[in-house]
């Protein structure tokens, strides 16, 4: 961490030097390396004292400005019930005992008031678990009570048993598009999708499934911090881009997909629907990936589906290639729970990583046998997913690994808030609202910019990439575009937008998106703010146009 902060400071220092020497190209290269997030931090400072004195409009971050209320009420309700259960055992001052299982289901029923909306949800959620998932009611309630109280280490450390079944049902309902995989999928809840990614890379590297010098393919443009993980020097991975572009509606073109057929490509890493382009892969591309695996059967696919519920009729790569795919999901965005840090890793019980572990050279096996022998009597057959869990605590502290149990209860509630509707064959009104919210903002932004919205099912509309060069040309002509491209770097433009107009957008090339693109998040401002962002952006163009004196030259 310190090293990273130091690097960022060093980079910023180097950027200042580069700017002074007016070496634009070198500057932009460095900007790409430090990443879009660090650049935005500077623009936030500029925007806070903007010349126009406008209120700051920061459409940089993807943190949503909505929250789910039902699950928060339900969490406190379960906590209240659970403390009461502990007090039944013994109670003196602020001290109570541990909850007892005997009769706990009946006491839950007696405590819940069907006329209270929160209790009604909990009743429906428990009914679903018992009737549809076939759980024993006392076991379920006891797990929820112990977990929310948090007086036991997570056991098993990877995932609480009822939680695993509930999360599996959620993934199947939201991301698998009908593929029945819940009974063959193992889940490891993690501190958000970010921790999931770090743990996976760590375990792939430690288990010698990815070695220094190996090639991994990355679907670009992509969420910047993810581009930076594989370049972590310790892993020594070589990365190649599998790119998509606006011309292909941000789907991956055939020539790019073909790169994955090369067996020297060991892993393929994607965000689907993507960030920043916010588009899901088409069925055609998913089918093409099946052919890719026929040619390159050892390919490990790592997919981050955090935005899956925002695209229509979404289908995860995991649903079509369960044996080759490691799935990462996070509740952060949909439910407004970024501060909770709740995400997960899902893997099939028959997966390429376990097969590759069995095929490792004897020398590697001997090394790993010694590594894991401190936590299991049969290290050779320890599944990769359990190794991810062990590695998340440097193996030695495996027995205290796993996500905090109250966080696992919260994940149960988030998942169940959807599953009770799914089970009744009804549309989930919360997911509908989340989708409608970003769609309304997107439509307002596009209309105010005079651009045609992309209403395709693949468009999650959580972010959008806007091509400011195309916008400049459409509004003021080619001569103005040329002026803009010669006189201003894209960073200059973003700095001007912040310093003069108080608007913060993100630098597209920082995500490996084309020069001239900016990422606008539709998650964190209100509809009218997006109209205002468009107005201020066009106002800056007006000022630029006057400065360029192209209009004057025409008049003369
Ligand atoms: C926001 C985001 C996440 C969520 O990360 P958390 O650590 O769960 O908050 C995951 N992946 C991508 C691509 C994201 O943009």
DSSP codes joined into one string, 415-481: HHHHHHHHHTT---HHHHHHHHHHHHHHHHHHHHHT------TTB--SEEEEEHHHHHHHHH-HHHH
Counting ligand 1 atoms within 8 A of each CB, the residue from 63, 332, 438 with the most, and so the one to mutate, is: 332
Give a yes or no: residue 9 inside a domain. no
Question: Tokens in use for 404?
Answer: 């905090």
Counting ligand 1 atoms within 8 A of each CB, the residue from 221, 330, 340 with the most, and so the one to mutate, is: 330
The contacts of residue 413 (CB under 8 Å, 6+ apart) are 71, 74, 75, 78, 125
Is residue 145 located within the same domain as residue 249? no
Q: Identify the residue whose tokens are 């991975």.
A: 237
* Per-residue confidence in pLDDT tens, the chain, 556 aa: 444 444 444 444 444 444 444 456 666 666 666 677 788 999 999 999 999 999 999 999 899 999 999 999 999 999 999 999 999 999 999 999 999 999 999 999 999 999 999 999 999 999 999 999 999 999 999 999 999 999 999 999 999 999 999 999 999 999 999 999 999 999 999 999 999 999 999 999 999 999 999 999 999 999 877 767 755 556 788 889 999 999 999 999 999 999 999 999 999 999 999 999 999 999 999 999 999 999 999 999 999 999 999 999 999 999 999 999 999 999 999 999 999 999 999 999 999 999 999 999 999 999 999 999 999 999 999 999 999 999 999 999 999 999 999 999 999 999 999 999 999 999 999 999 999 999 999 999 999 999 999 999 999 999 999 999 999 999 999 999 999 999 999 999 999 999 999 999 999 999 999 999 999 999 999 999 999 999 999 999 999 999 998 877 766 5
Tell me the torsion sign for CA atoms 58, 62, 63, 69.
Answer: positive
Give a yes or no: residue 116 inside a domain. yes
Distances (CA, A) of 282 to 76, 94, 261, 312: 41, 56, 19, 11
Atom of ligand 1 nearest to the CA of 195: 7
CA 269 to ligand 1 center in whole angstroms: 14
CA 327 to ligand 1 center in whole angstroms: 13
Counting ligand 1 atoms within 8 A of each CB, the residue from 304, 305, 334 with the most, and so the one to mutate, is: 304
Kind and range of the H or E element at 403? none
Helix (H, G, I), strand (E, B) or coil at 115: coil
Q: What is the pLDDT of residue 352?
A: 98
Atom of ligand 1 nearest to the CA of 304: 11
What dihedral do alpha carbons 232, 235, 236, 239 form, nearest 10°?
Answer: -70
Kind and range of the H or E element at 38? helix 36-48
Q: How far apart are CA 379 and CA 370, in angstroms?
A: 8
**Helix (H), strand (E) counts: the chain:** 24, 14
CA 303 to ligand 1 center in whole angstroms: 12
Is residue 316 located within the same domain as residue 283? yes
Domain end (from 83, 118, 152): 152
Q: How far apart are CA 332 and CA 376, in angstroms?
A: 33
Q: How far apart are CA 428 and CA 454, in angstroms?
A: 24
- Bridge-based pairing of strands 343-348 and 325-330 is antiparallel
- CATH number of the CATH domain containing 80: 1.10.20.110
- Bridge-based pairing of strands 503-504 and 506-507 is unpaired
The contacts of residue 435 (CB under 8 Å, 6+ apart) are 309, 310, 461
Contacts of residues 19-26 at CB distance under 8 Å and 24 or more positions apart, as own/partner, are 24/489
Atom of ligand 1 nearest to the CA of 62: 1
Distances (CA, A) of 266 to 130, 254, 298: 42, 19, 7
Do 159 and 450 meet the contact criterion of CB atoms below 8 Å apart? no
Q: How far apart are CA 424 and CA 489, in angstroms?
A: 54
Q: Whose CA is nearest to atom 10 of ligand 1?
A: 193
Atom of ligand 1 nearest to the CA of 333: 1
What dihedral do alpha carbons 506, 509, 513, 518 form, nearest 10°?
Answer: 30
Atom of ligand 1 nearest to the CA of 342: 8
Give a yes or no: residue 498 inside a domain. yes
Q: What is the pLDDT of residue 225?
A: 76
Give a yes or no: residue 223 inside a domain. yes
Range of the domain at 194: 161-419
Q: How far apart are CA 498 and CA 241, in angstroms?
A: 31
CA 239 to ligand 1 center in whole angstroms: 21
Q: How far apart are CA 154 and CA 476, in angstroms?
A: 61
Q: For 130-182, give the DSSP string.
A: HHTS---HHHHHHHHHHHHHT-S--SSSS--HHHHHHHHHHHHHHHSTT---G
Atom of ligand 1 nearest to the CA of 330: 8
Number of structural domains (the chain) is 3
Q: Whose CA is nearest to atom 4 of ligand 1?
A: 193
CA 193 to ligand 1 center in whole angstroms: 5
Q: What is the pLDDT of residue 235?
A: 76
- CATH number of the CATH domain containing 206: 3.40.640.10
Tell me the torsion sign for CA atoms 224, 225, 230, 235.
Answer: positive
Identify the residues whose C-beta falls under 6 Å from ligand 1: 62, 192-194, 223, 271, 275, 304, 306, 330, 332-333, 338, 343
Helix (H, G, I), strand (E, B) or coil at 350: coil
What dihedral do alpha carbons 108, 109, 110, 115 form, nearest 10°?
Answer: 120
Give a yes or no: residue 10 inside a domain. no
Is residue 475 located within the same domain as residue 376? no
Atom of ligand 1 nearest to the CA of 338: 9
What pTM was computed for the model? 0.93
Give a yes or no: residue 189 inside a domain. yes
Do 119 and 70 meet the contact criterion of CB atoms below 8 Å apart? no
Question: First-to-last CA distance in the chain?
Answer: 59
CA 156 to ligand 1 center in whole angstroms: 26
The contacts of residue 303 (CB under 8 Å, 6+ apart) are 270, 271, 272, 316, 317, 318, 325, 326, 327, 328
Is residue 108 located within the same domain as residue 50? no
- CATH number of the CATH domain containing 455: 3.90.1150.10
Do 301 and 325 meet the contact criterion of CB atoms below 8 Å apart? yes
Counting ligand 1 atoms within 8 A of each CB, the residue from 197, 223, 229 with the most, and so the one to mutate, is: 223
CA 416 to ligand 1 center in whole angstroms: 21
Helix pair angle (2-20, 36-48), 10° resolution? 70
CA 440 to ligand 1 center in whole angstroms: 22
CA 330 to ligand 1 center in whole angstroms: 6
Q: What is the pLDDT of residue 233?
A: 54
Is residue 460 located within the same domain as residue 529? yes
Is residue 442 located within the same domain as residue 408? no
CA 88 to ligand 1 center in whole angstroms: 41
Is residue 410 located within the same domain as residue 438? no
Question: Tokens in use for 293?
Answer: 């695996």
Q: How far apart are CA 449 and CA 445, in angstroms?
A: 6
Is residue 301 located within the same domain as residue 411? yes
Atom of ligand 1 nearest to the CA of 271: 13
Atom of ligand 1 nearest to the CA of 194: 7
Is residue 262 located within the same domain as residue 408? yes
Is residue 446 located within the same domain as residue 533? yes
Give a yes or no: residue 7 inside a domain. no
Is residue 218 located within the same domain as residue 309? yes
Q: What is the pLDDT of residue 19?
A: 43
Q: What is the pLDDT of residue 462?
A: 98
CA 511 to ligand 1 center in whole angstroms: 14
Is residue 197 located within the same domain as residue 249? yes
Find residue 507's DSSP bridge partners.
518
Q: What is the pLDDT of residue 556?
A: 56
CA 194 to ligand 1 center in whole angstroms: 6
Domain end (from 152, 178, 209): 152
Do 272 and 461 meet the contact criterion of CB atoms below 8 Å apart? no
CA 515 to ligand 1 center in whole angstroms: 24
The contacts of residue 26 (CB under 8 Å, 6+ apart) are 18
Atom of ligand 1 nearest to the CA of 192: 8
Q: What is the pLDDT of residue 2?
A: 42
Counting ligand 1 atoms within 8 A of each CB, the residue from 36, 37, 193, 403 with the most, and so the one to mutate, is: 193
Atom of ligand 1 nearest to the CA of 226: 13
Domain end (from 152, 173, 192): 152
CA 394 to ligand 1 center in whole angstroms: 23
Q: Whose CA is nearest to atom 3 of ligand 1?
A: 193
Give a yes or no: residue 5 inside a domain. no
CA 158 to ligand 1 center in whole angstroms: 21
Distances (CA, A) of 71 to 117, 307, 313, 378: 11, 20, 25, 40
């Amino acid at each position: 961490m310190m090293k990273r902060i130091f690097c960022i400071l060093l980079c910023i220092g180097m950027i200042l030097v580069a700017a002074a020497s007016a070496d634009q190209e070198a500057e932009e290269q460095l900007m790409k390396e430090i990443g879009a997030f660090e650049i935005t931090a500077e623009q936030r400072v500029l925007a806070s004292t903007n010349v126009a004195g406008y209120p700051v409009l920061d459409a940089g971050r993807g943190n949503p400005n909505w929250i789910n209320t039902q699950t928060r009420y339900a969490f406190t309700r379960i906590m209240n019930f659970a403390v009461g259960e502990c007090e039944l055992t013994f109670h003196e001052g602020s001290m109570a005992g541990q909850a007892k299982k005997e009769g706990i289901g009946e006491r839950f029923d007696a405590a819940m008031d069907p006329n209270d909306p929160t209790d009604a949800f909990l009743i429906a959620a428990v009914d679903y678990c018992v009737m549809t998932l076939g759980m024993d009611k006392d076991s379920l309630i006891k797990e929820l009570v112990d977990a929310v109280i948090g007086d036991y280490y997570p056991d098993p450390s990877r995932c609480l048993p009822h939680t695993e079944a509930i999360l599996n049902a959620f993934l199947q309902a939201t991301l698998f598009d009908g593929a029945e995989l819940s009974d063959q999928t193992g889940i490891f809840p993690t501190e958000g999708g970010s921790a999931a990614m770090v743990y996976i890379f760590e375990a792939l590297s430690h288990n010698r499934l990815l070695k220094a010098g190996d090639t991994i393919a990355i679907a670009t443009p992509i969420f910047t911090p993810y581009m930076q993980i594989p370049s972590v020097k310790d892993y020594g991975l070589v990365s190649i881009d599998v790119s998509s572009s606006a011309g292909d509606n941000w789907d991956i073109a055939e020539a790019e997909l073909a790169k994955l057929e090369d067996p020297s490509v060991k892993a393929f890493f994607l965000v689907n629907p993507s960030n920043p382009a916010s588009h899901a892969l088409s069925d055609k591309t998913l089918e093409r990936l099946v052919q890719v695996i026929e040619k390159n059967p050892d390919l490990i696919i790592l997919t981050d589906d955090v935005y899956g519920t925002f695209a229509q009729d979404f289908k995860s790569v995991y649903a079509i290639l369960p044996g080759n795919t490691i799935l990462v999901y996070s509740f952060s965005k949909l439910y407004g729970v970024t501060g909770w840090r709740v995400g997960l890793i899902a893997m099939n019980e028959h997966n390429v990583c376990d097969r590759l572990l069995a095929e490792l050279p004897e020398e590697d096996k001997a090394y790993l046998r010694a590594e894991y022998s401190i936590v299991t009597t049969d290290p050779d057959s320890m599944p990769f997913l359990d190794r991810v869990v062990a590695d998340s605590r440097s193996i030695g502290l495996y027995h205290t690994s796993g996500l905090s149990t109250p966080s696992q209860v919260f994940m149960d509630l988030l998942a169940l808030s959807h599953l009770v509707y799914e089970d009744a064959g009804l549309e989930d009104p919360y997911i509908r609202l989340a989708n409608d919210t970003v769609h309304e903002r997107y439509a307002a932004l596009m209309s105010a910019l005079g651009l045609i919205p992309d209403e395709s099912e693949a468009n999650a509309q959580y972010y959008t990439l806007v091509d400011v060069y195309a916008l400049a040309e459409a509004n003021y002509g080619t001569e103005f575009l040329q002026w803009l491209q010669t006189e201003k770097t894209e960073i200059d433009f973003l700095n001007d937008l912040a310093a003069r107009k108080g608007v913060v957008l993100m630098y597209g090339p920082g995500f490996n998106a084309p020069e001239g693109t900016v990422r606008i998040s539709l998650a964190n401002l209100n509809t009218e703010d997006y109209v205002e962002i468009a107005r201020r952006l066009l106002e800056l163009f007006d000022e630029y146009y006057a400065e360029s004196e192209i209009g004057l030259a025409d008049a003369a």
